[in-house]
Structure 1
Amino acid sequence: MSKHARIAWAGAVHRAIERDGQLELQTPAFKGRLLNFNEVVWLSPLPDMPPHRPRTVLALAINYADHAKELAFKPPEEPLAFAKGAASFTGHRAFTVRPDDVTNMHYECELAVVIGREAKHVHAHDAYDFVRGYTVANDYAIRDYLENWYRPNLRVKNRDTCTPIGPWLVDAADVPDPMNLALHTTVNGQVTQQGNTRDMVFDVPTLIEYFTSFMTLYPGDLILTGTPDGVVDCPVGSHVVCAIEGIGALENTIVAATQ
């Protein structure tokens, strides 16, 4: 299995792959050097330079039937999506800032789909041909700022540091069935969320067909596919781990805005 990471080490940003429980650097000057996971700063695994840097980030609201039930809504009849800004992303083992004035800020463990080539008017049965790979996203929501359950406003979903992503970008070829992956979240070691991607209202091929019917997706663009039920408020100090079978376990910690 090919697991790709982007990390900071020795004053520079490097590409790396997982090799027997370590990071193997791919930077030409250090190619083949092995590092332990705790020797580096983990960055978003997404490319940060053109042409593969994300231009568009799309996220799904209420895309799991059990989450819709949790919120007392019926499942949507077509995808409910909103756009996210790249500044909201942060890496594995990073910190997410909780505003001082909020009372309900919760995680959302999500399978993130990374587009691999230009996609326009893609049919669902061809959709996987346009996927480069998958990673884990934690799409934190701040419910205090919510104006509309179906279309979260910018302050709910687009705050700096509020979308941890990673640690790995896993090649699509190494994920034979992305629509049958177990996912779960723990807060301070306690399991608080469990689900499976098979319970999505709109699966990955359907989402790609839907979005590309009216817009072009480019290499590096992202689709965050929604979260199952089981979200709980995370106070300052919470250590949150979002894990998806075969993709990885994404850790981060909640910190106060003023400290």
Structure 2
Amino acid sequence: MTDQAYRTGRVTLVGAGPGSRELLTLGAVEALRGADVVLYDRLAPVEVLAEFCPGATLVDVGKRPGHHAVPQEDIERLLVEHALAGADVVRFKGGDPYVFGRGGEEVLACRRAGVPVEVIPGVTSSIAVPAAAGIPLTHRGIAHAFTVISGHAPLTAEEYTHLAGLGGTVVVLMGVSALPALAPGLVRAGLDPDTPAAVVERGHRSGQRTTVAPIAALPAAAALAGVRSPAVIVIGEVVRLASEGDAEADALLRRAGEAVAAP
């Protein structure tokens, strides 16, 4: 019997960033190199696992829109079971574990079972993906605050009103399917229909693409472009700073509006 069987292992929740290996932290790489078992998500850069933890047992627990192959409670059970069997377990999660990643639930499950648990933050896609498209979430004289929301749950009328009146930048994660309701909901709540908006697909990955339009026209522009997840939606005046600056972004917005309005 190995020494591992006589000890409780540990769980490390590792934020993998938005998908590019270059955005992995040193802490993430160190944790992977010490892993016996890795439970990984579909949005994590899975290709690095063969390099950093070639001897580890790999378990795919990735969720896809509308399809959760491994329920969350089973993921938590696997983390605990492997750790109690003596393994050093890494939960390899896209983005940051605590930004709509259910990391808090996994930490609590480990603590309840008496399993040592650590969280290594990751670069969140809410900031990194807009940046990849040249969109700063804050900019002096334009936006001094930003709000990040999940597109999974429908918003109430009160939430729409609150968001529309906040000012600054709104970032929506996992919001492609919600866009047909989100955009008109914000406009009805008082957001200027000409507010610049963008959908950035596959940020920091091969095939990255940005679709830009006024918020009122964004659902139609996204449908016309065939936008698909994973994608991040950005709403606010900072979108005018995308890529090559105000003039280029303004031209993109005009063209997008004209294309959607055309019969």
Give the TM-score band, short-chain normalised.
under 0.3
Which is greater in Rg? 2
TM-score with structure 1 setting the length: 0.23
Structure of higher RCO (CA pairs closer than 8 Å, 6+ residues apart): 1
Q: Which has the higher strand share?
A: 1
The structure where helix makes up a greater share of residues is 2
